[in-house]
Amino acid sequence: ERQYATNVTGLMYVTRAFLPHFRANRAGVIVNISSVGGVATFPFYSLYHGTKWAVEGFSESLNFELNPLGITVKLVEPGAIATDFGSRSLDVLKKEGLTDYDPLLNKFLETWVKGRVRSAPELVAEVIWQAATDGTAQLRYIAGDDAKGIIEGRAKMSQTDYYAMVRQRLGV
């Protein structure tokens, strides 16, 4: 509930609050923060992915609705960023007494999380600035080399191949 309130419902409330001003001026740029997790999924981030896929769908659809009114919607899709985000914002599946997932969770943490390259937070700020000021109708902006690799790689793979790659990395 906390993740949906922050990432989805909060975003919708803020959008609703400033849309009357944008409509009256027939201009404006909305920049929503999504994630590589709004394009590709990984184990143990189901709540987070659900919120970011919601942001992607909401923003893309809203862009169709608002563009004829002179309002542009943008999505920034960061990868891993060098902040404490993971320790304070992600609800990883780990419930007291529930051990069924431990082998898979440990393998995931070992093969996907440890040593992951993280981009500087300033990079995301630069991409947000670019999205807000470039004057284009471009919808998506990728922030970080890891995000670019994941998003481009996922786009080139079939669903079957992507699932096989994830399973192979997890040894399942």
* Residues annotated as part of the active site: 34, 48, 52
Task: Name the residue type at position 75.
Answer: L
φ, ψ of residue 28 to 5 degrees: the values are 155, 160
Helical H segments across the chain, by residue range? 2-4, 10-25, 46-66, 85-89, 102-108, 121-133, 145-156, 159-170
Distance CA 118, CA 33 (A): 17
Q: 94 is written with which tokens?
A: 């780990």
CA 4 to chain centre: 13
Rounded Cα gap, residues 128 and 31, in angstroms: 7
